[in-house]
Structure 1
Amino acid sequence: MSDPIDFYFDFGSPYGYFASLRIDELAAKHGRTVTWHPVLLGAIFKVTGMKPNLEQPLRGEYLTQDVGRIARLTGAPFTFPDSAPANGVAASRAFYWLADEHPEQAKLLARAIYHAHFGEGQDIGPADTVAEIAAKTLGSLGIDRAAVTAAIQDPAVKDRLRSEVDDAVERGVFGSPFFIVDGEPFWGWDRLDMVDRWLATGGW
């Protein structure tokens, strides 16, 4: 099997949310797996000089219209959160706490956090909210609130997230979602069809 597709996303990104609903199925069609990498766009923007879309004149207004249109097009559950743009630090730390030893559990958690935020409109910034979502999603697998709360404050987990963000910047990641397929970068939910074609043809 070929190398996994790297999927970079920020939990506060609605386009990352839409990509998360499709990327694994798309990859499986081509015999690929996907490695998920939550990152913090706020830290990346310090490198690029960009600002969150919602804080940009005209672009912010466009985004709110565009994401609703994508939700209607795809049938994805969607409620624009009052808390947007969300702080994804706690969610990202919880993910990396699980990712190495339990990657599928980490993906389940990421999907649940994304659904809570963009499917239901919850504020997923607070650590208590992330711990509650994790316990609800993974409680049957032995994950409880106390363990997640402790993990979010674990210095090793904090370092892991910082390392992942630094690595993403080194690889040229500047937005969410961002895909790297055999070294080829693709930015944006609307590039998934191109990723599909690239995988089918071997590139061009």
Structure 2
Amino acid sequence: MAAPLKVEFHFDFGSPNAYLAELALPGIEKRTGVTFEYIPVLLGGVYKATGNMSPGESLRGIKNKPEYNALETERFLRRHNVTKFTMNPFFPVNTLALMRGAVAAQFEGVFEPYFRAAYNHMWVEPKKMDDPQVFREAFLSSGVDIDRLIARAQQDDVKKKLIDNTSDAVARGSFGSPTFYVGSEIFFGKDKVREVEEEIVAQLAAGQRKTA
């Protein structure tokens, strides 16, 4: 029997585009039957390794391009019926603690509530999540046992896993967020979620033909 198709979502909570793209994933999972693997990476580390920069930096001072970028975001919001999105007024936020927390939450089996709370406090009810006190109080308000995860995030295996995820993503071709992998095929950007779904459907069909 063929191995199930591996589909991955590489994310950093600091990327508004990754937040928006993720909102489309449950629909893709429902329609195709796949389950995305959520891979925490440190976007700052990806940028450093690739010489890339955030859209906020790369669009600064350019005529018309930031306006078009905003237009594309509005189109995405409408297409996917996104009603809960607020640009974080503290952007860019240092996400090291958030991303180590995500790895710790995966190790501790509480990733889903941690993930939802983190995105809520970054892009729905945005806060300065690189302030340790704000960070702690935000997660407590969402019912997350954050003190346990803060302690767990200081362990070497958590720190190493985040570094390894980040360097592995770069080695496989990643240069920003959000990045998706469908098998070995890489896709970048929230505007590629339809292509991601098309590739999933194509690879699943090819897999069925091989086993038929």
Give 1:154 deviation, angstroms: 2.7
Matched with 2:28 is 26
Matched with 2:73 is 67
Residues 160, 127 of structure 1: alpha-carbon distance in 2 compared, 3 angstrom cutoff: farther
Matched with 1:85 is 92
Question: 1:113, 1:130 within 8 Å by CA — same for their partners in 2?
Answer: no
Q: Deviations over 1:152-194 (max 9, x none)?
A: 3333322221111111112211111111011111111111111
2:94 alignment partner AA: N
Q: Deviations over 1:71-126 (max 9, x none)?
A: 35433311111111221111111111121351xx3133122211211112222223
Single out whichever of 113-122 and 180-189 deviates more from structure 2: 113-122
Give 1:63 deviation, angstroms: 4.1
Question: 2:105, 2:149 within 8 Å by CA — same for their partners in 1?
Answer: no
1:50 alignment partner AA: N
Question: TM-score, normalised to structure 2's length?
Answer: 0.81
Matched with 1:177 is 178
Distance 1:6 1:117 in 2: 22
Distance 1:20 1:95 in 2: 15
Question: 1:95, 1:106 within 8 Å by CA — same for their partners in 2?
Answer: yes
Computing the radius of gyration from Cα coordinates, the structure with the larger value is 2
Distance 2:6 2:132 in 1: 30
Give 1:53 deviation, angstroms: 1.1
Alignment of 1:113 with 2:113, yes or no, is no
Unaligned segments of structure 1, at least 5 residues: none
Distance 1:87 1:6 in 2: 23
Q: Deviations over 1:4-55 (max 9, x none)?
A: 3110011111110011112133123211111111212211111221111111
Residues 183, 83 of structure 1: alpha-carbon distance in 2 compared, 3 angstrom cutoff: same
Matched with 2:209 is none
Matched with 1:164 is 165
Distance 1:23 1:138 in 2: 24
- How many residues are aligned here? 198
Secondary structure at the residue paired with 2:187? Answer: strand
Secondary structure at the residue paired with 1:180? Answer: strand
Secondary structure at the residue paired with 1:100? Answer: helix
Single out whichever of 127-136 and 42-51 deviates more from structure 2: 127-136
Question: TM-score, normalised to structure 1's length?
Answer: 0.84
Secondary structure at the residue paired with 2:142? Answer: helix
Residues 110, 158 of structure 1: alpha-carbon distance in 2 compared, 3 angstrom cutoff: same
Matched with 1:201 is 202
Matched with 1:130 is 135
Identity of aligned residues (%): 29
1:90 alignment partner AA: A
Single out whichever of 124-133 and 27-36 deviates more from structure 2: 124-133
1:201 alignment partner AA: A
Question: 2:52, 2:175 within 8 Å by CA — same for their partners in 1?
Answer: no
Residues 138, 17 of structure 1: alpha-carbon distance in 2 compared, 3 angstrom cutoff: same
Give 1:132 deviation, angstroms: 3.2
Unaligned segments of structure 2, at least 5 residues: 207-212
Question: 1:176, 1:187 within 8 Å by CA — same for their partners in 2?
Answer: yes
